[in-house]
């Protein structure tokens, strides 16, 4: 039988949808019977029930109702016995919730169970015996055991019948709690001599359809006269006892008196309750009427008890009263926390007020003891929102950040307001899933690295490193070399970047003289979707190596001419002969030059300044000094290992040009000066052997040479002795070089070549002698590059 469905909705403060629907069905319906079309009554499509994983949530362990998602209906799962489920409570109803997910929703469903007349009135005892004195007066009352009908309403017990009714009549009293007390009242005096045993039948009748009855046999033994019945001091006693009181506690004491004497005045007390738990919880002392506890009392199960008491004397006369025991509640139940639905993972970009868990709280205590307040642990981005009927939702209260906290252990604590307060707690673990919201970050804002020139291609220079605060794929960083150019050349032809490790490699061998530094940008990109990236500037500084020798700019030497410096014989100590000028295209200490006198015709006559390359006399020039002096000056840089260049300086020690002319005509141009004593000893031995022949050849050669030289002078092809103006002097006032040297040095991007230009001084102190020329010897005017000369003496 399908009960009518009554649907009504009430909007709560939660973000989720909440509604309520009620049904009414009779008890004892067959398994699988239809309760109601929940989908139709809630206005929800059946596919929503399936996609939302709809399920029934109930606090009780017994499930009487089941949900068919495909049909959207509620069905009877187990046979429902209203009497076993609710006893005498009315109305009797099942309460549960239907939970849906994605998004979270819940609906409250109430199924009221109506009674059917499936229980007949019953008596605890099949028969009861009375001993009644024949002297019992008319109107004497005898309390009978009342019948119990487990049904309720119209199906409950309605009336009693007593047969036969010759001597006794029934009197029924209705109590405030709805129960009826049955008394048998003597209508006609008894006569033991006429009838010693009387049998009566008490019938209890309910009001159901069909009507059902229960009977009890009453056996009466007529005794001899006992004409006074016991009488209780008050018809109703009241007592209060705290729940969980220990066994043996005295609840109350009742008292009855009998006016008779002897054995007829001896009173016996008893409890007449039937078909309930009173006799299991309370007992009465038969002699003194003291009522004590023999069982456990729980306010949450029963808030009061009515104990029916009877006082009997030995003559069979009785009186009755009732003891109302009220149970006083104590705070003995902790709040129960029931998780209705929860999520274990939430995305860090979840919106505010996103529900992650739904909780129901129940405290079986009452009053202040049953009032519950719930709160969660501090410093978490969540709050508890409450609705009606002790339902709570745990929702997000602020933005989530997995990089700050990847997991939350949220402790929900619920406390009642009893004294002392009782509380319960549950810990919810919530994982925060990652989204790609963090770009890679380099360890430095910019990088600067050094590499020595002439490196091997493929050399690892250094490593850039970026970190991403995200997780897994979102934190996987790849390195990319951004497109740019260096001096018009793509930067990728200079360096490369490892995509996985960020190691920067040199693609080519670098030359400091061509490029001293360059910079580029490296991009770090994560593996998220869409990917995030950042970039950093990297500057590479090329360090110089000593890979270029010094280049001599002055004096200039050619393969076809001999350049000589004039030193008068009157030159004093420190006279500035000339200055060797050299440069080194390297940098730093690789370009620091030092000058040394390597070879000289007379080492005691000249010295070279270590730092400035100035050639000065170290003693007074004398007439004994040779006219032609050949100096070999070596120029060294400060690199490791050092590189050097050698320049030959020819010096003429004479006061006039004719004096030196004959000496310099046979001055070898390219022959290296050699002072190897062994060589000269061997040569001397050879000369001695051929002394005559050699002497003759020398004499003839000298004559021929002088004849040719005199001829040259007569043809006006003689070397020109320059005029020295007064302003020509060295720094010490004894030399013939001007104070100012003008040099213009031009370097190309190729470290192996240089274009060197020399500015012409106002006057010159340089002799250029060309034995092969046929005209007057001229000053070399053109600007030449010493590195482009094939016969350069530079090493």
pLDDT of 110 strictly over 80: yes
Residue 165's φ and ψ, nearest 5 degrees, are -115, 40
Per DSSP, 122 falls in state: B
What's the chain's average pLDDT? 80
pLDDT of 260 strictly over 80: no
pLDDT, greater one: 17 or 389: 389
pLDDT, greater one: 545 or 480: 480
Q: At what angle do helices 691-714 and 677-689 cross, to 10 degrees?
A: 100
Q: Which residues contact 85 (CB under 8 A, 6 or more apart)?
A: 64, 92, 94, 113
- Is the Cβ–Cβ distance between 145 and 310 less than 8 Å? no
Residue 663's pLDDT is what? 62
**179-226 pLDDT per residue, tens:** 778 899 999 988 877 888 999 999 999 988 888 999 999 999 887 677
Q: Which two tokens stand for residue 195?
A: 């009838």
Q: 603, 649, 614: which is closest to 767 by C-alpha?
A: 649
Residue 12's pLDDT is what? 33
Q: What is the distance between the alpha carbons of residues 43 and 56, in angstroms, rounded to a whole number?
A: 17
Distance of CA 207 to the CA centre of its chain: 71
Distances (CA, A) of 343 to 347, 399, 618: 11, 17, 100
Q: What is the distance between the alpha carbons of residues 16 and 108, in angstroms, rounded to a whole number?
A: 13
Q: 235, 290, 223: which is closest to 260 by C-alpha?
A: 223
Please name the residue that has the structure tokens 């004195």: 133
pLDDT of 541 strictly over 70: yes
In terms of DSSP bridges, do strands 197-206 and 282-284 run parallel, antiparallel, or are they unpaired? unpaired
Please name the residue that has the structure tokens 């004499």: 699
Q: What is the distance between the alpha carbons of residues 190 and 188, in angstroms, rounded to a whole number?
A: 6
**71-105 pLDDT per residue, tens:** 999 999 888 888 888 887 888 888 888 998 888 88
Q: Which two tokens stand for residue 282?
A: 């309370």
Q: Which residues contact 240 (CB under 8 A, 6 or more apart)?
A: 325, 326, 327, 328
Helices in 396-485 by DSSP H: which ranges?
Answer: none
**442-494 pLDDT per residue, tens:** 999 999 999 988 888 989 998 999 998 888 888 899 999 999 888 889 999 99
- Is the Cβ–Cβ distance between 623 and 593 less than 8 Å? no
**679-711 pLDDT per residue, tens:** 777 777 777 777 778 778 888 888 888 888 766
Total residue count of the chain as it appears in this document: 795
Tell me the percentage of the chain whose pLDDT exceeds 70: 82
- Is the Cβ–Cβ distance between 710 and 703 less than 8 Å? no
Residue 558's pLDDT is what? 66
Other CB atoms within a 10 A radius of the CB of residue 749 amount to: 10
- Is the Cβ–Cβ distance between 108 and 20 less than 8 Å? yes
Per DSSP, 29 falls in state: P
The 290-293 sheet, strands edge to edge: 250-253, 290-293, 282-284
**397-445 pLDDT per residue, tens:** 988 888 888 899 999 999 998 888 999 999 999 998 888 888 999 999 9
For residue 420, whether the previous peptide bond is cis, meaning omega lies within 30 degrees of 0, is yes
Distances (CA, A) of 718 to 562, 721, 725: 14, 9, 22
**342-362 pLDDT per residue, tens:** 888 998 888 998 889 999 998
Sequence-separated contacts (24+) of 441-445 with Cβ below 8 Å:
441/466, 441/467, 441/468, 441/469, 441/534, 442/466, 442/524, 442/534, 442/536, 443/467, 444/536, 445/536
Determine which helix (DSSP H) or strand (DSSP E) holds 535, and give its type and residue range.
strand 533-543
Q: Which residues, listed in sequence order, are joined to residue 213 by a DSSP beta bridge?
A: 205
Distances (CA, A) of 10 to 17, 387, 530, 704: 9, 11, 43, 139
Q: Which residues contact 582 (CB under 8 A, 6 or more apart)?
A: 550, 551, 552, 553, 593, 595, 613, 635, 645, 647
pLDDT of 676 strictly over 80: no
Can you spell out the DSSP letters for 594-645? EEEEEEES-TTTEEE-TTT-EEEESS---TTS-SEEEEEEEEEESSSS--EE
Determine which helix (DSSP H) or strand (DSSP E) holds 686, and give its type and residue range.
helix 677-689
- Is the Cβ–Cβ distance between 39 and 127 less than 8 Å? no
pLDDT, mean of residues 568-577: 86
Residue 379's pLDDT is what? 86
Residue 471's pLDDT is what? 87
In terms of DSSP bridges, do strands 318-328 and 236-242 run parallel, antiparallel, or are they unpaired? parallel
């Amino acid at each position: 039988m399908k009960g009518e469905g009554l649907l009504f909705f009430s909007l709560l403060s939660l973000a989720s949808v909440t509604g309520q629907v009620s049904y009414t069905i009779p008890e004892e319906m067959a398994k699988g019977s239809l309760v109601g079309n929940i989908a139709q009554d809630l206005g929800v499509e059946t596919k929503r029930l399936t996609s939302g994983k709809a399920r029934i949530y109930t606090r009780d362990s017994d499930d009487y109702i089941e949900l068919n998602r495909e049909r959207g209906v509620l069905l009877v799962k187990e046979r429902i016995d209203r009497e076993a489920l609710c006893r005498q409570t009315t109305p009797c109803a099942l309460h549960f919730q239907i939970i849906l997910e994605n998004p979270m929703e819940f609906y409250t469903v109430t199924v009221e169970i109506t009674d059917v007349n499936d229980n007949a009135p019953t008596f605890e005892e099949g028969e009861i015996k009375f001993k009644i004195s024949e002297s019992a007066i008319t109107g004497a009352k005898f309390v009978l055991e009342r019948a119990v009908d487990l049904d309720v309403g119209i199906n409950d017990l309605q009336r009693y019948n007593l047969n036969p009714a010759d001597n006794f009549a029934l009197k029924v009293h209705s109590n405030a709690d709805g129960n009826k007390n049955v008394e048998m009242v003597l209508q006609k005096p008894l006569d033991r001599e006429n009838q010693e045993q009387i049998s009566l039948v008490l019938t209890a009748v309910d009001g159901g359809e069909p009507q059902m009855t229960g009977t009890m046999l009453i056996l009466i033994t007529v005794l001899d006269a006992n004409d006074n019945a016991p009488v209780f001091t008050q018809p109703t006693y009241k007592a209060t006892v705290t729940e969980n009181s220990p066994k043996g506690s005295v609840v109350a004491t009742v008292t009855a008196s009998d006016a008779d004497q002897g054995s007829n005045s001896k009173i016996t007390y008893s409890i007449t309750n039937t078909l309930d738990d009173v006799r299991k919880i309370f007992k009465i002392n038969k002699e003194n009427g003291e009522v004590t506890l023999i069982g456990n009392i729980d306010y949450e199960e029963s808030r009061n008890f009515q104990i029916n008491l009877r006082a009997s004397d030995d003559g069979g006369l009785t009186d009755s009263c009732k003891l109302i025991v009220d149970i006083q509640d104590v705070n003995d139940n902790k709040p129960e926390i029931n998780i209705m639905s929860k999520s274990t993972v939430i995305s860090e970009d979840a919106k505010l007020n996103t529900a992650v868990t739904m909780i129901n709280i129940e405290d079986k205590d009452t009053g202040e003891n049953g009032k519950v307040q719930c709160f969660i642990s501090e410093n978490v981005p969540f709050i508890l929102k409450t609705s009606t009927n002790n339902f709570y939702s745990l929702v997000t209260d602020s933005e989530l950040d997995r990089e700050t906290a990847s997991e939350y252990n949220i402790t929900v604590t619920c406390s009642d307001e009893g004294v002392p307060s009782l509380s319960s707690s549950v810990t919810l673990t919530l994982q925060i899933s990652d989204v790609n919201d963090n770009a890679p970050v380099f360890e430095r804002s910019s990088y600067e690295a050094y590499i020595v020139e002439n490196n091997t291609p493929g050399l690892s220079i250094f490593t850039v490193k970026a970190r991403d605060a995200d997780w897994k794929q979102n934190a996987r960083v790849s390195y990319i070399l951004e497109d740019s150019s260096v001096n018009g050349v793509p930067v990728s032809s200079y360096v490369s970047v490892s995509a996985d490790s960020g190691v920067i490699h040199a693609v080519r061998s670098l030359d400091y003289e061509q490029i001293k530094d360059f910079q580029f940008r490296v991009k770090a990109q994560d593996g998220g979707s869409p990917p995030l990236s950042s970039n950093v500037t990297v500057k590479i500084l090329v360090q110089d190596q000593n890979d270029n020798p010094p280049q001599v700019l002055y004096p200039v030497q050619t393969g076809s001419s001999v350049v000589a410096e004039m030193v008068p014989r009157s030159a004093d100590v420190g006279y500035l002969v000339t200055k060797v000028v050299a440069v080194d295209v390297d940098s730093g200490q690789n370009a620091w030059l030092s000058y040394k006198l390597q070879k000289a015709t007379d080492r005691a006559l000249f010295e070279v300044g270590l730092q400035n390359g100035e050639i000065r006399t170290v003693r007074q020039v004398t007439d004994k000094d040779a006219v032609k002096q050949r100096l070999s000056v070596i120029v060294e840089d400060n690199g490791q290992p050092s590189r050097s260049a050698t320049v030959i300086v020819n010096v003429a020690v004479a006061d006039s040009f004719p004096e030196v002319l004959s000496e310099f005509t046979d001055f070898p141009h390219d022959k290296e000066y050699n002072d190897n004593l062994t060589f000269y000893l061997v040569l001397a031995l050879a000369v001695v052997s051929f002394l005559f022949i050699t002497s003759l050849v020398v004499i003839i050669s000298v004559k021929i040479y002088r004849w040719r030289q005199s001829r040259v002078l007569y043809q006006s092809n003689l070397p020109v002795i320059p005029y020295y103006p007064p302003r020509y002097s060295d720094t010490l006032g004894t030399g013939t070089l001007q104070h100012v040297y003008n040099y213009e040095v031009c370097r190309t991007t190729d470290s192996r070549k240089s274009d060197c230009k020399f500015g012409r001084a106002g006057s010159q102190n340089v002799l250029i002698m060309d034995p092969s020329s046929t005209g007057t010897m001229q000053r070399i005017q053109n600007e030449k590059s010493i590195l482009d000369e094939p016969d350069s003496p530079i090493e």
